[in-house]
Chain A
Amino acid sequence: MRLFANTAALLGKELQTEFRSRELLTTTIVFVLIVIVLFSFTFDPSVSESRRFGPGLLWLAFLFSASLMIQPSFLKERTNDTLSALRLSVGDPFAIFLAKLLANACMLLLTQLLLLPIFAVLYNVRVFPVFPQLMLVFLLGSTGVAVTGTALSAISAQARMRELLLPLLLLPLLVPILIASTEATAALLDEKPALRWDWLGILVAFDVVFLTALWLFGEYLLEE
Chain B
Amino acid sequence: MPRNARAPSKFCETWCEADAVSARIGRPAGLKFTKIEKRFASLYALRRLDLEIAPGECVALTGRNGSGKTTLLRVASQLTRPTRGELAFPGLKEGEAPAIGYVSHAIMLYEELTAEENLQLFARLLGIAEPRRRATQSLEATNLSARATSLVRTFSRGMKQRLAIARALLSDPGVLLLDEAGTGLDTESMAWLANRIRALRDEGRTIVMSVHGESALSQLATRAARLDAGTLVADTRAGATFQSVFAAGEA
Asked whether any CB of A lies within 8 Å of a CB of B in the complex, the reply is yes
CB distance from B120 to the nearest CB of A (A): 9
CB distance from A179 to the nearest CB of B (A): 30
CB distance from B83 to the nearest CB of A (A): 11
* Contact of B108 (CB < 8 Å), options: A84, A95, A216: A84
Q: Is B251 an interface residue (CB 8 A)?
A: no
Q: Contacts A2-B17, A5-B124 known; A85 to B108 CB distance under 8 Å?
A: yes
Q: Is B184 an interface residue (CB 8 A)?
A: no
Q: Is the CB of A88 within 8 A of B100?
A: yes
Q: Is A46 an interface residue (CB 8 A)?
A: no
Q: Is the interface of A mostly helix, strand, loop or mixed?
A: helix
Q: Contacts A17-B112, A17-B113 known; A84 to B102 CB distance under 8 Å?
A: yes
* Contact of B10 (CB < 8 Å), options: A21, A80, A91, A215: A215
A220 to B3, alpha carbons, bound, how many Å? 10
Q: Is the CB of A80 within 8 A of B112?
A: no
**Per-residue 0/1 for A65-95: is the Cβ within 8 Å of any B Cβ (1 yes, 0 no)?**
0000000000000011110111111111011
Q: Contacts A3-B14, A91-B1, A92-B14 known; A223 to B81 CB distance under 8 Å?
A: yes
* Contact of A85 (CB < 8 Å), options: B10, B80, B124, B167: B167
CB distance from A95 to the nearest CB of B (A): 8
Q: Is A22 an interface residue (CB 8 A)?
A: no
Q: Is the CB of A89 within 8 A of B109?
A: no
Q: Is the CB of B20 within 8 A of A82?
A: no
User: Which residues on the B side are within 8 Å of A105 (C-beta)?
Assistant: none
User: Which residues on the B side are within 8 Å of A2 (C-beta)?
Assistant: 17, 19-20, 127
CB distance from A151 to the nearest CB of B (A): 16
User: Which residues on the B side are within 8 Å of A224 (C-beta)?
Assistant: 74, 79-81
User: Which residues on the A side are within 8 Å of B110 (C-beta)?
Assistant: 13, 17, 80, 82
User: Which residues on the A side are within 8 Å of B171 (C-beta)?
Assistant: 89
* Contact of A80 (CB < 8 Å), options: B109, B121, B125: B109
Q: Is B7 an interface residue (CB 8 A)?
A: yes
Q: Is A130 an interface residue (CB 8 A)?
A: no
Q: Is B188 an interface residue (CB 8 A)?
A: no
Question: Within residues 188 to 221 of chain A, which ones have a CB less than 8 A from any CB in chain B?
Answer: 215-217, 219-220
Q: Is the CB of A85 within 8 A of B109?
A: yes
Closest to A220 in B: B5
Residue count of chain B within 8 Å CB distance of chain A: 36
Closest to B160 in A: A80
Closest to B7 in A: A216
Q: Is the CB of B112 within 8 A of A92?
A: no
User: Which residues on the B side are within 8 Å of A3 (C-beta)?
Assistant: 14
CB distance from A76 to the nearest CB of B (A): 9
A187 to B122, alpha carbons, bound, how many Å? 46
User: Which residues on the B side are within 8 Å of A220 (C-beta)?
Assistant: 5
User: Which residues on the B side are within 8 Å of A90 (C-beta)?
Assistant: 125
**Per-residue 0/1 for A1-14: is the Cβ within 8 Å of any B Cβ (1 yes, 0 no)?**
11101100110010
Q: Is B13 an interface residue (CB 8 A)?
A: yes
A224 to B79, alpha carbons, bound, how many Å? 7
User: Which residues on the A side are within 8 Å of B7 (C-beta)?
Assistant: 216-217
Question: Within residues 8 to 22 of chain B, which ones have a CB less than 8 A from any CB in chain A?
Answer: 10, 13-15, 17, 19-20
A184 to B105, alpha carbons, bound, how many Å? 51
A28 to B189, alpha carbons, bound, how many Å? 43
A21 to B113, alpha carbons, bound, how many Å? 11
Q: Contacts A91-B1, A219-B3 known; A80 to B102 CB distance under 8 Å?
A: no
Q: Is the CB of B125 within 8 A of A9?
A: yes
Q: Is the CB of B104 within 8 A of A84?
A: yes
A sample of 20 cross-chain residue pairs with beta-carbon separation below 8 angstroms, ordered by A number, consists of: A2-B20, A5-B124, A6-B125, A9-B121, A9-B124, A9-B125, A10-B121, A80-B111, A81-B106, A84-B102, A87-B79, A88-B79, A88-B100, A89-B125, A89-B126, A89-B171, A94-B14, A217-B7, A220-B5, A224-B81
Q: What is A's interface to B at a CB cutoff of 8 Å?
A: 1-3, 5-6, 9-10, 13, 16-17, 20-21, 79-82, 84-92, 94-95, 215-217, 219-220, 223-224
Q: What is B's interface to A at a CB cutoff of 8 Å?
A: 1, 3, 5, 7, 10, 13-15, 17, 19-20, 74, 77, 79-81, 100, 102, 104, 106-113, 117, 121-122, 124-127, 167, 171
Apart from the given pairs A84-B79, A88-B79, A220-B5, 4 other A-B contacts in the complex at a CB distance below 8 Å: A10-B125, A13-B110, A81-B106, A91-B17
